[in-house]
């Protein structure tokens, strides 16, 4: 299964408070099919509706020319709009409106991924939302990209960078609420946002910068702080590839994985190919050091150094921690280390190159051989930190109006270091008195970037935040499922479940109670780390 790329995925402002209060901007249609077409041309403040088309269930939804689409899971009105808030800005927005009888009264905003540039990743979330009765909205982040890693659009384009960094999703939320007010006869009851990877960064940016846009937010594996993270990506690439003799061949990743699992898998009481909390695994790749020369069954001394550096994380020239490292236990799982860290065209190097070229140095000829951590991070932070970083822990405005924040991160994520999310969540708790009742973090054993990996990785984030925001208790346990095909399971296609496990509110961890199947979440309890 191809991994979902990162990095790869507002309440009305004062000008439209009437919609937030439930006052329609135009009469709601008696027949949604006719009313859908009637939305074409509607003014949206910063732009207008380009087209509005009824979509039947099963119709293929194409969001990017030449790329495969998905069948619609339910009928809806597909509204396509373009917003141009300032010269140099052009944001494509789609709002999908379920039929009147099917609408649950709520809005779901969908995060993008990578550098954005299309609506393919938001469409995955939007499709599932419409199937559950949500009106949904997504944007292309204000530009058209080519390929899964493309930052060329940002060269000397400050307004497009602002769109990508924070403006597109905010204006998308405003547009969606205006359309909802025009299309439905009853007011909007609640609005939620869900994004992972860069979508997780987008989610946190919404909570930090536009706290009235959404009532509850799900932020998975957030790509924060962007300038520090991409600087760390560049440093990782230099560690992995600057010296040919230190490159770890992908064929040797299995050595690291097998040795880490042999040492640590059973520490949580269940030998299942998943390390429950990899921080407790004091695995040293030096155990794999070749005794004489190189061989397929061992690591050379330079390869051991590379592995140690990737586990340890990026350090500054004086040895201080700069960005966390990556966890042992799934190094050879496709879509982890091979994709992000050690394989040909590793994604860390590609993302770092395009960011530094087009958003920091404004020099298409810049390459990673010129990277200097202290100099280039300082430049990136100065130029783009305010636009992109999204790591402000002060969420008092969001929590103060009843906002809920659910975060999650896979322990085996080789794209974005999982301890980075723990660090941000901890700072949120320290900064906000309301965080105890308003914020939760769920760490996911055996899960890679946003989806997939050997651990159970599909769970109902939307249902969880909806119950929570509507007055339910803060979630302490969420059941996740591992499918034979995780993407099919995530999309709701037929897929065979392999196992279920509880995800526990951080810092608690799941422990088998000693009876029944270890593939059944019902036989696990959430307990404090370190307890049997």
SS (H, E, C) 220-269: ECCCCCHHHHHHHHHHHHHHHHCCHHHCCCHHHHHHHHHHHHHHHHHHHC
DSSP 159-180: HHHHIIIIIHHHHHHHHHHHHH
Q: What tokens does 369 get? A: 């051989």
Q: Residue 26 has what pLDDT?
A: 34
Say whether 487 sits in a helix, a strand or coil. helix
Domains and CATH numbers, the chain: 10-224 (3.40.50), 232-384 (no CATH), 391-399+408-532 (no CATH)
Enumerate the active-site residues.
197, 413, 449
Q: How far is CA 215 from CA 95, 184, 336, 378, in A?
A: 18, 20, 33, 35
Q: How many CB atoms lie within 10 A of CB 402?
A: 13
Determine the Cα–Cα distance for residues 145 and 362; give it in Å rounded to an integer: 17
pLDDT tens-digit series, residues 391-433: 999 999 999 999 999 999 999 999 999 999 999 999 999 999 8
Cis peptide before 507 (omega within 30 of 0): yes
Q: How many CB atoms lie within 10 A of CB 372?
A: 14
Q: How buried is 385 (Cβ within 10 angstroms: 0-12 exposed, 13-18 middle, 19+ buried)?
A: middle
Q: What tokens does 390 get? A: 């999204």
Cα Rg of the chain, angstroms: 23
Question: pLDDT tens per residue, the chain (532 residues)?
Answer: 334 444 443 222 222 222 222 323 333 333 344 589 999 999 998 999 999 999 999 999 998 877 888 899 999 999 999 999 999 999 999 999 999 999 999 999 999 999 999 999 999 999 999 999 999 999 999 999 987 799 999 999 999 999 999 999 999 999 999 999 999 999 999 999 999 999 999 999 999 999 999 999 999 999 999 999 999 999 999 999 999 999 999 999 999 999 999 999 999 889 999 999 999 999 999 999 999 889 999 999 999 999 999 999 999 999 999 999 999 999 999 999 999 999 989 999 999 999 999 999 999 999 999 999 999 999 999 999 999 999 999 999 999 999 999 999 999 999 999 999 999 999 999 999 888 999 999 999 999 999 999 999 999 999 999 999 999 999 999 999 999 999 999 999 999 999 999 999 999 999 999 999 999 999 999 999 876 5
SS (H, E, C) 514-531: CCCCCCCHHHEEEECCCC
Q: How many CB atoms lie within 10 A of CB 61?
A: 19
Q: How far is CA 301 from CA 251, 258, 292, 362, 457, in A?
A: 17, 19, 10, 38, 35
Residues contacting 222, CB < 8 A, separation 6+: 197, 200, 201, 203, 204, 390, 407, 416, 421, 424
């Amino acid at each position: 299964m191809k991994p979902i790329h990162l990095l790869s995925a507002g309440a009305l402002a004062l000008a439209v408070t009437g919609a937030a209060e439930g006052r329609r901007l135009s009469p709601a249609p008696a027949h949604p099919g006719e009313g859908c077409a009637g939305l074409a041309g509607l003014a949206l403040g910063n732009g207008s509706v380009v087209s509005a088309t009824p979509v039947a269930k099963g119709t293929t939804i194409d969001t990017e020319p030449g790329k495969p689409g998905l069948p619609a899971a339910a009928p809806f009105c597909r509204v396509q709009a373009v917003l141009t808030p300032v010269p140099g800005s052009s944001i494509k927005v789609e709002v999908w409106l379920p039929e009147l009888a099917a609408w649950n009264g709520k809005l779901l905003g969908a995060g993008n991924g990578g550098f954005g540039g299309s609506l393919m990743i938001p469409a995955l979330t939007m499709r599932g939302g419409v199937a559950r009765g949500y009106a949904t909205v997504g944007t292309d982040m204000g530009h058209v990209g080519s390929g899964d890693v493309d930052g060329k659009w940002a060269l000397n384009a400050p307004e497009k960078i602002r769109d990508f960094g924070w403006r597109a999703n905010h204006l998308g939320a405003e547009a969606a609420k205006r359309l909802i007010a025009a299309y439905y006869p009853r007011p909007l009851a609640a609005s939620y946002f869900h994004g992972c990877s860069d979508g997780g960064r987008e989610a946190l940016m919404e909570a930090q910068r536009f706290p009235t846009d959404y009532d509850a937010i799900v932020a998975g594996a957030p790509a924060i702080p962007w300038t520090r993270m991409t600087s760390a990506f560049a440093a990782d690439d230099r560690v992995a590839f600057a010296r040919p003799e230190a490159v770890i061949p992908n064929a040797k990743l299995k050595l690291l994985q097998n040795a880490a699992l042999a040492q640590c898998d059973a520490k949580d009481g269940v030998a299942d190919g998943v390390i429950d909390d990899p921080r407790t695994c004091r695995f040293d790749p030096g155990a794999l050091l070749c005794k004489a020369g190189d061989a397929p069954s061992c690591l050379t001394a330079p390869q051991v150094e590379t592995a140690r550096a990737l586990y340890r994380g990026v350090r500054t020239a004086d040895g201080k921690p700069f960005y966390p490292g990556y966890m042992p236990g799934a190094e050879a799982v496709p879509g982890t280390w091979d994709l992000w860290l050690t394989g040909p065209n590793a994604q860390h190097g590609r993302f770092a190159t395009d960011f530094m070229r087009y958003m920091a140095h404004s020099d298409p000829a810049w390459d990673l051989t010129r990277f200097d951590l202290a100099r280039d991070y300082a430049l990136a932070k100065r130029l783009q930190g305010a636009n992109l970083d999204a790591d402000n822990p002060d969420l008092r405005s969001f929590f103060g109006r009843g906002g809920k924040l659910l975060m999650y991160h896979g322990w085996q994520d080789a794209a974005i270091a999982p301890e980075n999310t723990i660090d941000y969540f901890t700072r949120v708790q320290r900064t906000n008195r309301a965080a105890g009742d308003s914020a939760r973090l769920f760490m996911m054993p055996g899960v890679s970037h946003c989806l997939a990996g050997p651990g159970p990785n599909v769970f109902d984030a939307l249902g969880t935040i909806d119950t929570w925001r509507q007055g339910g208790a803060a979630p302490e346990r969420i059941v996740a499922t591992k499918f034979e095909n995780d993407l099919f399971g995530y999309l709701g296609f037929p897929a065979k479940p392999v196992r279920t496990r509880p995800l526990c509110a951080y810092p608690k961890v799941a422990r088998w109670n000693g009876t029944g199947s270890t593939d059944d979440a019902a036989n696990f309890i959430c307990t404090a780390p370190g307890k049997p």
